[in-house]
Structure 1
């Protein structure tokens, strides 16, 4: 193939040189570049590239999971990366999960409900601990009924990838009977790095709130627990519906709501505190199943 003077034919570069260039990109870019040619495929799939995408402490992380094989059991570093990006790895006695972001290789963690501080969490009258077929953890926390709803969690910044914008998400779903008390009651969420400013905002845990506001469904309360009944009004109302801070469904069927974001500069040893709470309204609430709080890189929309 003729190459114009002054134009570099990358296919003529040594494979090691191409691998060095590809390792400066992202896992997604490496996968795309592997389609360019057989030379690029060989370089892009090499251990030299994918070892760069793996966190430097991946050996230590793998050793924390009793169910995980050693890195030597994988045919290549790419296979290991794909495994860690597609399969949450249970660590810390099964109370936390670790995963790699498949796009950029950044670290992701989920704190199980057992790792969270839940007010009245050990009182069966208010909360119960059950197994759930859709949960990655052995047990989840199911809200029976409370008027003081407060959940908090913590993670150390040294566990996370440096120079990365992270967001924390409360992961939950209603039980089969359905949740109540959150339909028209907002909750507060917050996030703060030790020594820094606490960022708070108001959200809703009811995934159907947008639909109800769009059709102006009016609540009527009845019963000892102030459960809510609804009378729909046909007239449609689109004002500010798209601006609502409501839960979104994840790919695994759970719901999530963002608690806030923070930038992890790296090289520091600080605690990040995350919270979701409703302690002012006084109404009884129940029916939520809590899987945990997930901390993952926040991608640009």
Structure 2
């Protein structure tokens, strides 16, 4: 016990390999710790509060004492966002989130996105860190002619988390954008914005570069050029070497739009997708067969 108290007084902020070994050695040095497991678990829990959810899960395998500490509400309360109980939606789900054990609450919010704001956004915790993740549904994006059925229609998709997605029918050029306030995100965190979509007619995007932009209004921003066609075999000079989308585990495609660092100050992050027109070629492809689920904002790994 004295050894653990001394370790706490040092002020452990994060647990690295040396910290793991220290705690394991404590158990081996004094086998009688099991008989005072409650006090030991409290001390260990205080140390685990300075680690990450992934660390706590790994350390729970060390012994019964560690498992008791690593599964305590004290530890998992620390991993949950401080404002989590300000979400009224927590009381509307059968999990009885507000009264569940803190680890169960954490895993429920990390394993499955929750749809909020009338189906226009989803909220989730990043499983490894506990940082907040959001997805802006296509309905929350500013899309030209979004309510004109000749150009876009709104359909259901069994693979989507949202009640509806945008189905592109016919446009000559693509432009849409989304906005999120930094106050809803985790502070002091590097975030990445991800465009999530599907294609059934990738040939309509043949050799068609897109400009993806992410930036804080009035602050730093970044722009990149990508090709949304995932299967193009004979690219021309306009798209050679450009980033392509990758397949997600949920069946959608995703492509990174850009990154931004979220401080603890309020600001708006603007994200946009714009087709790059070819001024030297009047033969513009008609775009169709694109399904937009939304823009995901998640911590950079």
TM-score range normalised by the length of the shorter chain = 0.7 to 0.9
Which residue of 2 is the match for residue 24 of structure 1?
50
8 Å CA contact 1:157–1:271 kept in 2: the answer is: yes
Which of residues 230, 243, 246 in structure 1 aligns to 2:244? 246
8 Å CA contact 1:122–1:128 kept in 2: the answer is: yes
Superposed CA RMSD in Å reads 2.2
Q: CA deviation at 1:24?
A: 0.8
Which residue of 2 is the match for residue 293 of structure 1?
295
> CA–CA distance in 1 between the matches of 2:183 and 2:91?
19
Which of residues 190, 204, 209 in structure 1 aligns to 2:227? 204
> CA–CA distance in 1 between the matches of 2:114 and 2:181?
18
Which residue of 1 is the match for residue 178 of structure 2?
153
Which residue of 2 is the match for residue 264 of structure 1?
262
Relative to structure 1, the CA distance from residue 92 to residue 157 in structure 2 (aligned partners, 3 Å threshold; closer, same or farther) is same
- DSSP 3-state at the match of 2:204: coil
8 Å CA contact 1:62–1:68 kept in 2: the answer is: no
Instruction: Work out whether 1:129 is the aligned partner of 2:145.
Output: no
8 Å CA contact 1:65–1:89 kept in 2: the answer is: no
Q: Extract unaligned runs of 5+ from structure 2.
A: 4-21, 28-32, 34-38, 279-283
Aligned residues: 263
Which residue of 1 is the match for residue 277 of structure 2?
280
Q: Extract unaligned runs of 5+ from structure 1.
A: 220-239
Which of residues 143, 157, 170 in structure 2 aligns to 1:118? 143
TM-score (norm. length: structure 2):
0.82
Instruction: Specify which structure has the bigger relative contact order, considering alpha-carbon pairs within 8 angstroms and separated by 6 or more residues.
Output: 1
Which whole-Å deviations, capped at 9, do the CAs of 1:127-165 have from their partners, x for residues lacking one?
111111110000000011111201100000001011110
Matches within 5 A, 1:164-175: 164-175=189-200
> CA–CA distance in 2 between the matches of 1:159 and 1:183?
37
